[in-house]
Amino acid sequence: MGVVLTRGGRALTAPPEPDRPQPGPLLTQADLLGPVDVVAPSLLGCWVVTERPEGRVALRLTEVEAYSGEGADPASHAHRGPTPRAEIMFGPPGRLYVYFSYGVHWCANVVVGPEGRGSAVLLRAGEVVVGEELARSRRPAARVVRDLARGPARLTQALAIGPGDRGADLLDPGSAVRLYRGTAPASVSAGPRVGISQATDLPWRFWETDAPSVSVFRAGGKPRRGGAGQDGTP
């Protein structure tokens, strides 16, 4: 469900390597300063890398969602301002916003836009490109490679991202969680976000067209008291 936005070209991504996949340089704050619905699709193809005592896992992003803090997106945690939960969304750009969704799994977001805007990009899915064996040990229920990080909960499990990573600087070469440039998708599609009950008309879910690791679209339920949002299904 969605429309194809691009075919070819590049945004925050480097040309493909002829042999084994390799990331480009770390992203910078300047790369993340645009409107959230512009920055979000530009992150497709970028690498998220985690360094843990047991080893390294890296994945290439194939699906993301944009959430705005500028007052026009009631599905965003930042819609009501910098609450204790969402204050990290207000910057600086490049920080990792981690939250517990529905009391069952962790979700990871990249803070984008100028400091104080309150926008972030939810990391919905990716393909593991380094550390597949380690990712499999963290995701024993995954029967095929495409399912290792297919959905926001599976993504954080494969990368071992949790509450201790909240506020991590993804742009710091010394950080345990980092964000690099990567290979651009040949085609990008857009459509409604997953599992939300407000602002369902915004086509702010972006994915690499036909990528096997992209999650299955599920519409959200009825609006809940207090608001529902930024809590895509696993």
Of the listed ranges 12-21, 101-110, 166-175, the one predicted with least confidence: 12-21
User: 127: domain range?
Assistant: 3-196
Query: Per the domain annotation, does 205 fall within a domain?
Result: no
Residue 216 covered by a domain? no
Alpha-carbon span 225 to 6, nearest angstrom: 38
Segment 103-114 mean pLDDT:
92
CA dist 203 → 38, 146, 190, 200 (Å):
12, 24, 6, 8
Q: How confident is the model at residue 120 (pLDDT cuts 50, 70, 90)?
A: very high
Domain count, the chain: 1
Q: What is the CATH number of the domain that holds 129?
A: 3.10.300.10
Within a domain: 181: yes
143-152 tens-digit pLDDT: 999 999 999 9
Q: Write out the two tokens for 137.
A: 């040990």
Is the pTM here over 0.95, yes or no? no
> Residue 210 domain-assigned?
no
Specify if 217 maps to a domain. Answer: no
Q: How far is CA 105 from CA 152, 172, 174, 188, in A?
A: 9, 26, 26, 27
Q: Is residue 218 part of a domain?
A: no
